[in-house]
Chains A and B, each alone.
Chain A
């Protein structure tokens, strides 16, 4: 991934035709902290298509666009080449990946498309996207292009009837910490970093061009006056088939989200949640083990030092010079410093905590509507019974 980024930044240094910026509101050019991400409808569909083509493996790609006064406008995107095809020559593939990106950006720029990298996107399965590589990649992106985001798209949740897109950014404090790769308890407390403050979640907005709105209205019209529907109604009842062609139009109402049974979804969630909690426990156990040994070492040192102090005191009372100098009375030893330095990184715990949090939130988000759906079904039934009796 690093080479890919280099390629992108190299392209940026290419001589860009001087753009006339006069007459533009300077407020639009100022760099402000991002507060929302605005996706073009085209980008949404491209991401959806790419991720669907690659299911069940994760798909990644680059986002192109520009940030205007705190709102990141993503106007185009293109998929990255998948690595799974030729694993044997990983090195060569990496090179080609960079070359591919460069060429793609050049091609797009030639035809007036935005060729300004603003981040990347990734597909995920049930929100299990928290891992080191995501953070590493996003760190590199934000290092190179300060205003970049990662869009996480969940195809499994989307098939349940609601588009699931999240825009994330690493917080500034985390960027600072990650630069030093120092994730000890002390530094976390010092920077007031909690698992929830690693990432900053931005609201996602979808925007259509006027021309596109026209197309959508047209498609909508086709739905309500579809020829296949008219045909099946106007035919005599003897030729009746209890099916209306399902492919009426892409904009016919989508009732996937009224589906009642979704145990499989919950089951898988619980399964994943269980696994992650176990990982979290292991991580915790490792850290506690480290702390115990640290404690032991400290105690041992304390004991020796107090013993030496005692000896010094007895010698002083006898009027003799002390055996141990000040150096020997310090509570430190090479073993202790080594142990202190080898504190297990808390990064993994932070990530796992976030992952668990995501799972739990998703379960909650799912359970709310599921319960309402059940009560809707129940009341519909009661009404029906009351009507029939």
Chain B
């Protein structure tokens, strides 16, 4: 089929994409934000692929902004497919079933595109993309490509949209995949979760226990201290003329320093003490309640 030869993959590095005026129109009108849970699911799916299979595909769920130019990918589910030479068969029944199941839990999230793993867009991607275009009509689907083979030592996750190219009116218009900006977006609650997950990445057995509030606080304070040391080392270096001063950094530092509110010492002392009293009072009450309960429990036994 001629379509395989009329497939074009334009690739810009993310920096040049925003710099060249020709491509900026495409990148500005369309952007994708991916939730961390999506990337995690893709990797999990990839790990569970059948023996002979080299890549996995799945559907992306999410919401679009009203004009359809911003896509927020919030969820995804895996799909099974079989691939022979240039032919790719996606299990459409499975897609429909899974989609309806997901709809029941969260009806706001609709299919916005599909994901695949691999280093490059393959000819067969054109077909899958067209298939998903039917699902996401009237909007165009988004394609998320996650490089699980870690080529160039990078696990790049890139997003694409396709637009048709070729002679107008011809029977098989080709497709052109355009890379669009793609960030990882997360929420406050997810961040705390990610923090703990990120802790596990440096341990040899890739696991971490959940920290107590106190340990967590200690970790944060140590981090702040490190940052302060970093900054003061830099400032010292600039002062002793070892390092080029950077005005922007200087402004940032000044801004940060001036953002600290000025509180009168007596006022501060007063605030501190009342606060401390409140806290101690509450703790005392809590402990009192607990001991009362324990006593009540014991007394009951005796009755």
Chain B window 210-252, contacts with chain A (Cβ cutoff 8 Å), 1 for yes, 0 for no: 1111101100110110010000000000000000001111111
CA distance A258 to B289 in the complex (A): 28
Residues of B within 8 Å of A254, CB to CB, are 191-192, 195, 220
CA distance A219 to B195 in the complex (A): 12
A111 and B101 contacting across the interface, CB-CB below 8 Å: no
- A312 interfacial by beta-carbon distance below 8 Å: no
A374 and B206 contacting across the interface, CB-CB below 8 Å: no
Residues of B within 8 Å of A52, CB to CB, are 187, 189-190
Stretch at the interface among A132-140, A171-179, A321-329, A364-372: A364-372
CA distance A211 to B220 in the complex (A): 27
A250 and B36 contacting across the interface, CB-CB below 8 Å: yes
A270 and B195 contacting across the interface, CB-CB below 8 Å: no
CA distance A372 to B35 in the complex (A): 34
> Contacts A107-B98, A253-B223; is A211 near B47 (CB within 8 Å)?
yes
Q: Pick from B40, B212, B248: contact of A237, CB below 8 A.
A: B248
Residues of A within 8 Å of B220, CB to CB, are 161, 253-255, 257-258
Question: How many residues of chain A are within 8 Å of chain B by beta carbon?
Answer: 110
A209 and B283 contacting across the interface, CB-CB below 8 Å: no
Question: How many residues of chain B are within 8 Å of chain A by beta carbon?
Answer: 98
Interface centre among A160, A163, A204, A220 (most CB of B within 10 A): A163
Stretch at the interface among A2-10, A36-44, A334-342: A36-44
- B39 interfacial by beta-carbon distance below 8 Å: yes
Chain B window 36-63, contacts with chain A (Cβ cutoff 8 Å), 1 for yes, 0 for no: 1101110111111110000000000000
Q: Which residue of A lies closest to B249 (CB)?
A: A233
> Contacts A49-B74, A205-B208; is A370 near B191 (CB within 8 Å)?
no
A113 and B48 contacting across the interface, CB-CB below 8 Å: yes
A206 and B210 contacting across the interface, CB-CB below 8 Å: yes
Q: Pick from B43, B213, B276: contact of A215, CB below 8 A.
A: B43
Q: Which residue of B lies closest to A372 (CB)?
A: B217
- A165 interfacial by beta-carbon distance below 8 Å: yes
A41 and B287 contacting across the interface, CB-CB below 8 Å: no
| Minimum distance in angstroms from B301 CB to a CB of chain A | 6
B213 and A112 contacting across the interface, CB-CB below 8 Å: no
Q: Which residue of A lies closest to B108 (CB)?
A: A53
CA distance A360 to B250 in the complex (A): 46
Q: Which residue of A lies closest to B148 (CB)?
A: A211
| Minimum distance in angstroms from A280 CB to a CB of chain B | 8
> Contacts A211-B148, A240-B248; is A368 near B214 (CB within 8 Å)?
yes
Interface residues of A in 350-389 (CB under 8 A from B): 353, 356-357, 359-360, 363-374, 376-378, 381, 384-385
> Contacts A237-B251, A273-B286; is A216 near B198 (CB within 8 Å)?
yes
B75 and A49 contacting across the interface, CB-CB below 8 Å: yes
A209 and B47 contacting across the interface, CB-CB below 8 Å: yes
CA distance A266 to B41 in the complex (A): 37
B189 and A155 contacting across the interface, CB-CB below 8 Å: yes
CA distance A159 to B193 in the complex (A): 10
25 A-B pairs whose Cβ atoms sit less than 8 Å apart in the complex: A44-B193, A44-B196, A45-B37, A75-B44, A111-B45, A112-B48, A112-B49, A155-B189, A163-B195, A163-B196, A185-B303, A195-B297, A206-B200, A206-B208, A207-B207, A219-B184, A227-B14, A247-B185, A249-B184, A250-B36, A250-B186, A255-B220, A291-B303, A363-B286, A365-B214
5 more CB-based (< 8 A) A-B contacts, given A41-B200, A207-B200, A273-B286: A189-B301, A209-B44, A236-B248, A266-B279, A371-B276
